[in-house]
Amino acid sequence: MYEPRQGEPVRRFTVGDLSCVVISDGRFAPPWEPSLSDFFTPASGVPERELRDAVEAEGVGRTTVPCGYNCLYVETSAGSALIDTGLGRSFLGYGPEVSPMVGRLDERLAAVGLAPSDLAAVVFTHLHEDHARGAVWPGEPAFPGATPYAHAAEVAFWSDAACSAPADQRAPAREAIRVFGERLRAFEYGAEILPHVRTVEAAGHTPGHTAVLLESRGERLLCVGDSFHDRLQLSHLAWRTPWDLDAERSVLSRRRLLAWAADETMLVHAYHLPFPGLGLVRRRGDAFEWRPVPSPAG
């Protein structure tokens, strides 16, 4: 298999006997990085002054969220899986300037010697467009041999004719469900989808939002999806984003997952943090802090 060089947007590592690769679907480059004030708003419970004070306390003077899309590939004894699939090629929802920066998953899979037919499963933390579109563009399964998995509550929520979520979230989720059709498998929390790959309750961001636990030979990785979008949410646990459909439950889930990861020193994979989104969580008073895993020497 192709060995990426330092700085390339793929990162190989292992969790016990599980071979894993973080593959970037892309990221926003300056000046197109989204504003912190778009993610953390008074309407989502973050007063403007509180946001300013938090940024000043960081001491780095930033005004944006360094948003990435970190998809996780894992090989198991029963086949390989991809956890979340990015935005897919030719995505124009963020504007024509941003389109070339995202939707890179397919070419980077090829760069590490993987073909769409190699996948046995595609596991979704949830069905928001930036996690699922890469599996269904352009209107058909991008990984035709892979069984798609999403939580039963996630599938039911987006399929409901009375779904109250915003239309820009509702339409892409329903399109993914339509494209997958009867192949889509609905799971419950605590399910072992593949050997050593288990689903974990993380609801709140969406009704069926799911974390994924990899565990092998005493090593563990917790893939937390959109439990947090920025490191500021580790030090400010009550901060929500406009995309958290159940704000109170999202806070409870984030607090529980962070405490678990910190107390048991688990490696964490965070979908939207800067590539590769791998790090450790440490307690800091009543909250937490993020410590990225250093890049390997190259």
> Please, where are the H alpha helices in the chain?
36-39, 48-58, 105-111, 129-132, 152-159, 167-180, 232-235, 247-263
pLDDT of residue 61: 84
Residue 6 has pLDDT above 50, yes or no: no
Alpha-carbon span 143 to 134, nearest angstrom = 9
90 occurs within a structural domain: yes
Percent of the chain with pLDDT over 70: 97
Q: Which CATH number fits the domain that encloses residue 235?
A: 3.60.15.10
282 occurs within a structural domain: yes
What average pLDDT does range 218-242 have in this prediction?
A: 97
pLDDT of residue 294: 86
Q: Which domain holds residue 200?
A: 10-292
**Chain segment 64-82, per-residue pLDDT in tens:** 999 999 999 999 999 999 9
157 occurs within a structural domain: yes
How many domains does the chain contain in total? 1
69 occurs within a structural domain: yes
**Chain segment 166-210, per-residue pLDDT in tens:** 999 999 999 999 999 999 999 999 999 999 999 999 999 999 999
Alpha-carbon span 249 to 252, nearest angstrom = 5
1 occurs within a structural domain: no
Map residue 78 onto helix, strand or coil.
coil
Question: Identity (one letter) of the amino acid at 228?
Answer: F
Residue 274 has pLDDT above 80, yes or no: yes
298 occurs within a structural domain: no
**Chain segment 81-90, per-residue pLDDT in tens:** 999 999 999 9
4 occurs within a structural domain: no
3 occurs within a structural domain: no
